[in-house]
Structure 1
Amino acid sequence: MPVPTLPPFPDDVPTHPLLVIDYELLKAKDQEEIDRLWGAATSLGFWYLKNHGVQEEVDGMFEMGEATMKLPMEEKMKFEQGDDGSSFGYKAAGANAVDADGTPDTVEFINIAKDDGFAWPNTARRTYPSTVTSRMDSIVVPFIKKSTAINSTILDIFNSKLGLPDDVLTRKHSIEEYSGSEARTIKNPKGMSKERLAIAAHTDFGSLSFLHNRLGGLQVLPPGIDEWQYVKPLPGHAICNVGDALAVLSGGILHSNIHRVIPPPGAQATYERWSQVFFTRPGNSVVLEPLSSLSPIIADAVQKDPHKNLNAGGATAYEWFSRRVKNQRIKNRTGPETWQASRGTEQGRA
Structure 2
Amino acid sequence: MAVTTEPIIVSTSLPTIHLDLLRAENDSESKKLLGACRNQGFFYLDLTSDPELCKLWEGMLARMKHYFDQSLEVKMQDARGSDNYGYIPVGTEAGSKPNSKDGYETLKFSRREFLKGSSDLTTSIRSESDYFFSWIKEANTITLMVLSRLSTQLGLKGSSRFEVDHADLEPSLSTLVLLHYPKHDEVTSSSNVGHLKHTDVSSLTFLLVEQWGLQFLSPESKRWEFLAPKPGHAIVNVGDYLRFRSGDELSSIVHRVIPLKEMQEEDRYSIAYFFRPNDDASFNDSTGKRWTVKEWHDFKFDVFRSPDTLDAKGQFLTGMMEEEKRVVTREGITS
For normalisation by structure 1, the TM-score amounts to: 0.80
Deviation at 1:64, TM superposition (A): 2.4
Per-residue deviation, residues 102-160 of structure 1 (Å, max 9, x unmatched): 52111001111011112213x6xxx12434321122x1111000000000110001111
Give the match for residue 26 of structure 2: 30
Is the Cα contact below 8 Å between 2:100 and 2:193 reproduced in 1? no
Give the match for residue 256 of structure 2: 260
Match of 2:273 among 257, 260, 278: 278
Identity %, equivalent residues: 27
Equivalent residue runs for 1:166-315 within 5 Å: 166=158, 168-191=161-184, 197-264=193-260, 269-289=264-284, 310-311=286-287, 313-315=289-291
Give the match for residue 84 of structure 2: 87
Q: Which structure carries more strand by proportion?
A: 2
Is the Cα contact below 8 Å between 2:241 and 2:283 reproduced in 1? yes
Per-residue deviation, residues 249-297 of structure 1 (Å, max 9, x unmatched): 101101000111011459x9532110011110111111123xxxxxxxx
Give the match for residue 295 of structure 2: 319
Per-residue deviation, residues 296-334 of structure 1 (Å, max 9, x unmatched): xxxxxxxxxxxxx734721111111111112322xxx49
Give the match for residue 143 of structure 2: 151
Is the Cα contact below 8 Å between 1:188 and 1:272 reproduced in 2? yes
Q: Structure 1 CA distance, aligned partners of 2:218 and 2:42?
A: 10
Q: Structure 2 CA distance, aligned partners of 1:158 and 1:277?
A: 21
* Structure 1 pair 338–80 and aligned structure 2 pair: CA distance change class (3 A): farther
Q: Structure 2 CA distance, aligned partners of 1:49 and 1:100?
A: 30
Is the Cα contact below 8 Å between 1:203 and 1:346 reproduced in 2? no
Match of 2:128 among 135, 153, 156: 135
- Output the amino acid matched with 1:164: L
Three-state SS of the structure 1 residue aligned to 2:219 is coil
Structure 1 consecutive aligned stretches of length 4 or more whose deviation exceeds 6 Å: 192-196
Q: Gaps (5+ residues) in structure 2?
A: 1-6, 325-335
Is the Cα contact below 8 Å between 1:61 and 1:185 reproduced in 2? no
Give the match for residue 4 of structure 2: none
Number of equivalences = 309
Is the Cα contact below 8 Å between 2:200 and 2:240 reproduced in 1? yes
Match of 1:343 among 289, 300, 317: 317
Moved more, 176-185 or 257-266: 257-266
* Structure 1 pair 312–322 and aligned structure 2 pair: CA distance change class (3 A): farther
